Structure 1
């Protein structure tokens, strides 16, 4: 995200005084929200409004198998939902006022699992995963609902999985941006072992932040948990965006200094 910085002359009386004009560039950070299985974009709208207040361009959307496409609930696959996410990402990144180098993806549960995989396919600077789900790689094109018929799914989630053995975790291992993982204290869907697998998968992130929301269940169904999660996410996004803007300004100032020195 660029910062507009230029030297200016300001007329005063019969002379001119020198100034430096700084302003945000027209391109802004983008934030893409991905809801969980059985959810909808409605779950993210309040947080998207707060992120927009930070000066971000935000997009929420409904995965197929939900809302308008609820008739596909029993048949939609992970492959199709990943295509949905890719289409939403490309739409957001293609907007004239979105900085393609400053895109955040915020995922919940199944949406967080897809978001992790997305990072291997598209540039993502910031990745926020709330109670991320984890699935085996096989049967990628099966209906997502069928995956839960596997008697080994629960045992699979209750053991530590190496990043080399899973597509989503492998994407996390290659992710070089900033990551946030939020865990629910009383999650009966995603056990702590899954969170441990995700945390261990991040090999070389720019930063990795982990937070536990006490009292929360998997769906963050009570208002206090929702408020706590929103606070964590917005605080983290604020720090990430502010840091990126400061770095961009510092780079501009250094470049200006180099040019001045080169010119004499």
Structure 2
């Protein structure tokens, strides 16, 4: 909310007035799905968050949904370009306040989300089971990475000085939500710990664990629990911003 002074002419005189004007635009929320996923997994949550007064955008990364034939060739670098293009589409929406953008990423999408913050301004960052990849695999086809090597890497202690995603986290100064699945066979607790430790300058850091859940939230009760965490956090952030 901001105020604007106005001079109101009346008869041969004038009086002074003040407009109380709401800030232009509403928050924008960009969703980044995980590897082998699609925007379908985000649509229900996006619709609920839209009722809070946000403009939400879901989309399919290259190598997924209609472009699934590209999956064996698409690289993390190309998918980051997808994310940046989607961010620009969201921020250019006439209703969106460009200073109030949130990114909601899951797994591979959460990894991309952290790096996106180094290219575009992001106020709020939500990461569910954020995956981690070696920097040298940035331009390598994602679908051809060695799964055993990834598992080994994700169980290592990795610092922001050693990984571009964690380096992005160390520079991020907004609000963060990090959600872990208790029984995650793809993203172990060590990876989550690396992310949490990297957020050295975050304005706030909220960490939650979905009890009993696997990586994909394959049970409805786990999906509902995550949705409640995310929507509650977004509500707190959006209302706080207003």
Q: Deviations over 1:194-232 (max 9, x none)?
A: 000000000110000000000110001111011110100
1:104 corresponding residue in structure 2: 102
Q: Deviations over 1:96-120 (max 9, x none)?
A: 1111100000000000000011011
Q: Which moved more, 1:21-30 or 1:176-185?
A: 21-30
Asked if the contact 2:4–2:21 (Cα under 8 Å) also holds between the matched residues in 1, the reply is: no
1:78 corresponding residue in structure 2: 76
Structure 2 residue 181 is matched with structure 1 residue 155: no
- Gaps (5+ residues) in structure 2? 8-15
TM-aligned CA deviation for residue 152 of structure 1: 2.5
Structure 2 residue 119 is matched with structure 1 residue 133: no
Q: Deviations over 1:25-46 (max 9, x none)?
A: 3401000000000110010001
Superposition pairs of residues 1-264 of structure 1, within 5 angstroms = 3-5=1-3, 22=20, 24-147=22-145, 149=146, 151-245=148-242
Query: For 1:104, what is the secondary structure of its paired residue?
Result: strand
Q: Distance in 2 between matches of 1:223 and 1:88?
A: 28
TM-aligned CA deviation for residue 145 of structure 1: 1.1
Query: For 1:152, what is the secondary structure of its paired residue?
Result: helix
Q: Deviations over 1:30-76 (max 9, x none)?
A: 00000000110010001101110010010000000001101101111
TM-aligned CA deviation for residue 186 of structure 1: 0.8
Q: Alignment RMSD, CA only? A: 2.0
Query: For 1:240, what is the secondary structure of its paired residue?
Result: helix
TM-score, length-scaled by structure 1: 0.85
Q: Deviations over 1:167-196 (max 9, x none)?
A: 000000000000000000011110000000
Larger radius of gyration: 1
Q: Distance in 2 between matches of 1:185 and 1:150?
A: 21
Query: For 2:187, what is the secondary structure of its paired residue?
Result: coil
